[in-house]
Structure 1
Amino acid sequence: MTREELLAVIRASPDDPGPRLAFAEWLIANGDPRGEWIALHGGGDTDERELTRRALWQAHRVAWRTEDVGAAEIGTGSTLTYADGVLSEVRLEAAELIRLAPMLAHHPIRKLTVFALKGGLDAIAKLPLLETVRDLELGHGLETVSEDALVAVLTCPALANLRHLRFTPHQDVQMVWRALERVPRIATLESFEVSRVRVPVERARWLGGAMPALRALTCDRAMLNDSLLALGEVATFTLDKLSLSDQDGHAGRNPLLGDQALAAALQSPMVRDLTSLSLFACSSSEKTASALPALACAATLESLDLGSNSNPGIVESLADCTFPKLTSLSIRGNLLRDSHLEALARFPTVESFDASKNIITRDGVELALKHLPSLRHLRLANTLLGDQGARALGWSDRASALRSVSLSHSELGGESIEALVEGGRLDQLRGLDLSENELSRPTIKLVADGPFDRMERLNVAGTIRGDDTASLFAHAWLPVADSLQTGNLYERKLALSGAASPHVVKKTRAKPVTEVEARDLDAGGSYEVGETVRHPEHGVGKITKVLPLRLEVKFPKVGTRWVGRTPAEAVPFETTSRYTAKQIILHPTFGAGQVMKVAGDRIEIEFGVVGTKTLVHGAKPKS
């Protein structure tokens, strides 16, 4: 068989892995490395298989994309996505789709997103590539399309296998509802999404009966209060996934959804079997919070998004919830503090957690790592993480299980990056976002030389002035092309064996100091710079500075701390005694200090740790 004939067999049975593996064997027999790449998508995935697969893609992606669509790069906003070794998803402008259609027709395209429509649907309805499309999204430009043209696409014979339909224009295109009434095959749709296309009450009632096979419903800035109530009353379907968002309302522009309607929807029969629930930016409040612990789908829920509700109460209600299968949780943008993360103890199965846009510091990081033993993906963007939080993360024993971390806009500095790199525990990461933190070129160079051998997507946009990071990553990294072409995205360069580039300057972590080697800190002891000591709270650290009244000690987990000293000549402080300048005293609360200034019955004392204090001396004894 020829290459084209084998691809035709894959197109005819896109769900069957057999034809793909037969194609892989044919390519291997003909000396084409793409065969090994396709074969590596089958069977159990291991680190070695993943890295070898990525190395092959790095080495050949330009040639393979050119072979598939005639060009290695496509327009801004466009993407080509491969799944199981074959081209299966495309996102293209209408004109570009029509231009590339003859080449795309050879591939099993499962998901198709078309934008910048500009009236191009008439030609798209005639494209043979639609025969394998299961998921169709029509984006901006839909407002330029006639109702008849939309109906022609949705009823064309080639789309007989359509199961997922999405409308995502930039305007409220009510024509969509009239067109759908003329499309009988919507009765077999399994998922439906509308963005910015308002759902009036009468359309919600129609929707509830017109799509009986529906399992997933997404309404972004589309569903209205009364419409949601009506849908919950008449829906003939039972959903696996419900996603509602009201971002315009959250921003103060004409709210669409209210607390009462949301609470009622959560009690309706259509959500009794949910595995995924998203109430993003829905302004949910007390009634919704009260409904969460009573969800009928509590036993099946796997994903929960309560993000951007600006309401700590909605998260506080989680303390009364039991979701034994929950693996993904987002509570971003809810004015939360560290203490709110104590509720995470109820969800030890969570693998993906997002607490971005909250007042989260080091304590919050430690709580998340403590309560989520299965954590793999952590997002803490737009928080108050800072150096201490980064140290808590970088030196945590649980960090080695993480696969992606987002710390964008989190007040990171040089010490933060040093902890993340030299902690050595984040070497399994595939994704790391450090964007929009003010860092220096040497600090970014530390990242480029760090132990991130498996990194697939590193974001350092907005970290240094001018965003000129390319030269820092040239030796061991490759730029990642994203659909918006923003730049400053990198992936680790891999050899064809799957190993990281041998040219990288690896940063190794210093050998940890053992408890036996460390000396207990003694306020009256004598110390030298570089000496290893043990603190009762902060653990083992190394002395970096020795002063008469204090020691500067660098601890791996909490960073640099001052520790007070008590010189042998220090005299106990009493308010009834008088003191002279330069005299060393020992205060019961503030520790050792030196008298810096005497003014009558007042003395100014500089203490080793707490700073300068003004105290009374020479007072008359109490009778």
Structure 2
Amino acid sequence: MGTAGALVYCTRRLQASRSGSGLALARGNAIQCKQEARSDARRDSLVAAARNPELEQQIIAAPDDVQAYLVYGDWLQARGDPRGALIAAQHALLDDPESPPLRETERLLIEEHARELGGPTLDVEPAPQMRWQLGFWRALRCGSFGWSAKPWHDEHVQALLEHDSARFVRELAADGLFTGAVLATVGDKHQTLRSLDVALRAGEQFDDDSLAPLRACTRLRRLALFSCDAVTDRGMQVLRALDELEQIDLRNHPLSDAGVACLSAAPLQEVFFNELARGFSSAGMAGLARLPLRKLDLSCGPSIGDEHLRQLAGHATIDDLALPGAGFGEQGARALATLALARLYVPSSAIGDAGVAQLPRCLRSVDLGHCRLSDAACAALACMADLEQLRLDGSAGVTGGGVRQLAALGRLRTLCLGFCELDDQDIEPLGDLESIETLGLAFNNLTEASVDMLARMPRLHTLDLASCALSEDAIDRLARSASLRYVGLYSCPSEAIARAEGVDGWSVYRRDTLELMD
């Protein structure tokens, strides 16, 4: 019995075990499958990889059609190609993903036929990560953010994409010491590639010429490129061919009005740019407003003003808007009031109390960190009955009166009030917020007098008390909380930190303030 036969045998015996033969029989079948498959592994590994262009085109045309893979799998098995057995095994796993015999068969096939199925041997760190789909790699991740002793280079990605298992790859994420030419390695995958995410490091940049191979990738739905500083409007012309593109993130590319025009043919739902070209005008924003956007992130600082936001007024689909550091005020906020926003991310912006009063009441998540707001803003926010996440860090104008108004938000799960100069009496109203799960109170004027109130909050699992004057006794009292799991104690007394690190079930953060909102 060959590898494919062993798989069929294993599957049949698994079905028998379900009908009452018992778990022991299923385990025995897995062992027998392993032995039989290994006995034929040497013979199978000598079989050259079979190819059928006609059947491959059927998969390319309909990459989610399971039947197309099964037909190809039968054809491969008839020719002794172990990939056919892998297709059958992974198809069976779709119906029973937790089956130990099937998982063992899948693992065994890939292990014993590593050359044909598992990919080339590469001297890199970290090793590539693959997600399989019916005998082939659906998604590949190459490299990772951060330093590596054995970083990824262009040739490593090329070797991986040239492997037979990458024949129908749909998602590629790569982060390493690449050059802009790395995009040329995806050229042969233009018929199947749907998502491309590439980050260059060590000062390398994409330029107009390096984007040229993307012109053939007309089925791309997501494109994210890090280090696009040298891409000009000429390079952006390539994007006109990507008429299925739904998400774009061109990090460090200075978006211009002409660049926006290059996006007009795509059904873009998510757009991210962190730089704007000098002279980016309301006409450019109007071009973005004509897209079927759901999420717009222009992390471009004060160059976004009221006139830009007026172009978004009445947009039918935007529900997630990020404009950190933007220079808009009350008039721009009035335009936002016409949107059905669920999330608004505008930290360090010029929105002001009057602008907050104009925001739509349907918001569920609002980041107003370091916007220098006062209790007047809290009064407006208290009218947002659906609010679940709120950041007001760095607003010294917020007092106990403002906190008392926020305590009326019965659905609030995350509240960040760091750097607001609040004292123990100011935060007392928070004890009535039974919905709170995450609370940031870093760098306020708090003492251990607030600890008992915090320990009684029934759902609180994450608490940042950085720079709070806590004693060991205060930690013991805080530990009475039945729900608390993550505690930030940066810049707190060392004795308190040591006591907290001994509390069973706690994770203590002592080197920085906690990141509390998405």
- Is 1:147 matched with 2:208? yes
Contact persistence 2:187–2:216 (CA under 8 A): no
- Is 1:367 matched with 2:425? no
Structure 1 segment 297-446 matched on structure 2, within 5 A: 297-298=360-361, 300-312=362-374, 315-318=377-380, 321-335=382-396, 336-370=398-432, 372-394=433-455, 396=456, 398=457, 400-421=458-479, 423-427=480-484, 429=485, 431-440=486-495, 443-444=496-497, 446=499
Contact persistence 2:366–2:390 (CA under 8 A): yes
**Residues 234 and 380 from structure 1, CA distance in 2 versus in 1: closer, same or farther, beyond 3 angstroms?**
closer
**Residues 107 and 403 from structure 1, CA distance in 2 versus in 1: closer, same or farther, beyond 3 angstroms?**
farther
**Residues 231 and 378 from structure 1, CA distance in 2 versus in 1: closer, same or farther, beyond 3 angstroms?**
closer
Contact persistence 1:109–1:129 (CA under 8 A): no
**Post-superposition shift, 1:126?**
3.4
Q: Distance in 1 between matches of 2:437 and 2:204?
A: 41
CA displacement 1:463-506 (0-9 Å, x = unmatched): 9xxxxxxxxxxxxxxxxxxxxxxxxxxxxxxxxxxxxxxxxxxx
3-state SS, counterpart of residue 415 of structure 2: strand
**1:499 counterpart residue number:** none
CA displacement 1:193-213 (0-9 Å, x = unmatched): 122x12555454234225511
Contact persistence 2:374–2:395 (CA under 8 A): yes
Greater strand content = 1
**Residues 425 and 223 from structure 1, CA distance in 2 versus in 1: closer, same or farther, beyond 3 angstroms?**
same
Contact persistence 1:163–1:191 (CA under 8 A): yes
Structure 1 segment 227-266 matched on structure 2, within 5 A: 228-233=306-311, 237-238=315-316, 239-246=318-325, 257-258=326-327, 261-266=328-333
**Residues 164 and 175 from structure 1, CA distance in 2 versus in 1: closer, same or farther, beyond 3 angstroms?**
closer
Structure 1 segment 575-594 matched on structure 2, within 5 A: none
**2:112 counterpart residue number:** none
- Is 1:28 matched with 2:99? yes
Identity %: 13
**Residues 351 and 91 from structure 1, CA distance in 2 versus in 1: closer, same or farther, beyond 3 angstroms?**
farther
**2:295 counterpart residue number:** 216
**Post-superposition shift, 1:145?**
1.8
Unaligned runs of 5+ in 1: 3-7, 36-66, 247-256, 464-623
**1:276 counterpart residue number:** 343
**2:249 counterpart residue number:** 166
3-state SS, counterpart of residue 401 of structure 1: coil
**2:51 counterpart residue number:** none
- Is 1:450 matched with 2:509? no
**Post-superposition shift, 1:276?**
1.1
**Post-superposition shift, 1:31?**
7.1
**Residues 79 and 345 from structure 1, CA distance in 2 versus in 1: closer, same or farther, beyond 3 angstroms?**
farther
**2:144 counterpart residue number:** 92
Q: Distance in 2 between matches of 1:34 and 1:342?
A: 61
Q: Distance in 2 between matches of 1:30 and 1:436?
A: 53
**Post-superposition shift, 1:165?**
1.7
Contact persistence 1:118–1:145 (CA under 8 A): yes
Q: Which amino acid aligns with 1:174?
A: P
TM-score (norm 2): 0.59
**2:357 counterpart residue number:** 293
**Post-superposition shift, 1:129?**
10
Q: Which amino acid aligns with 2:407?
A: A
**Residues 151 and 344 from structure 1, CA distance in 2 versus in 1: closer, same or farther, beyond 3 angstroms?**
farther
**Residues 31 and 122 from structure 1, CA distance in 2 versus in 1: closer, same or farther, beyond 3 angstroms?**
closer
Contact persistence 1:306–1:330 (CA under 8 A): yes
Contact persistence 1:118–1:141 (CA under 8 A): no
Q: Which amino acid aligns with 1:278?
A: Y
Q: Which amino acid aligns with 2:101?
A: N
Q: Distance in 1 between matches of 2:339 and 2:372?
A: 26
Q: Distance in 2 between matches of 1:202 and 1:28?
A: 56
3-state SS, counterpart of residue 381 of structure 1: coil
- Is 1:205 matched with 2:283? yes
Greater helix content = 2
**Post-superposition shift, 1:445?**
5.1
Contact persistence 2:191–2:217 (CA under 8 A): no
Contact persistence 2:343–2:365 (CA under 8 A): yes
**Residues 450 and 292 from structure 1, CA distance in 2 versus in 1: closer, same or farther, beyond 3 angstroms?**
same
Q: Distance in 2 between matches of 1:70 and 1:444?
A: 46
Aligned length: 381
CA displacement 1:118-148 (0-9 Å, x = unmatched): 4345346437499565585767778822123
**Post-superposition shift, 1:93?**
5.6
Structure 1 segment 394-543 matched on structure 2, within 5 A: 394=455, 396=456, 398=457, 400-421=458-479, 423-427=480-484, 429=485, 431-440=486-495, 443-444=496-497, 446-452=499-505, 458-461=508-511
Q: Distance in 2 between matches of 1:221 and 1:333?
A: 21
Contact persistence 1:138–1:168 (CA under 8 A): no
Q: Distance in 1 between matches of 2:105 and 2:430?
A: 41
Contact persistence 1:135–1:164 (CA under 8 A): no
3-state SS, counterpart of residue 375 of structure 1: coil
Q: Distance in 1 between matches of 2:463 and 2:120?
A: 34
TM-score (norm 1): 0.50
**Post-superposition shift, 1:241?**
1.3
Higher radius of gyration, 1 or 2: 1
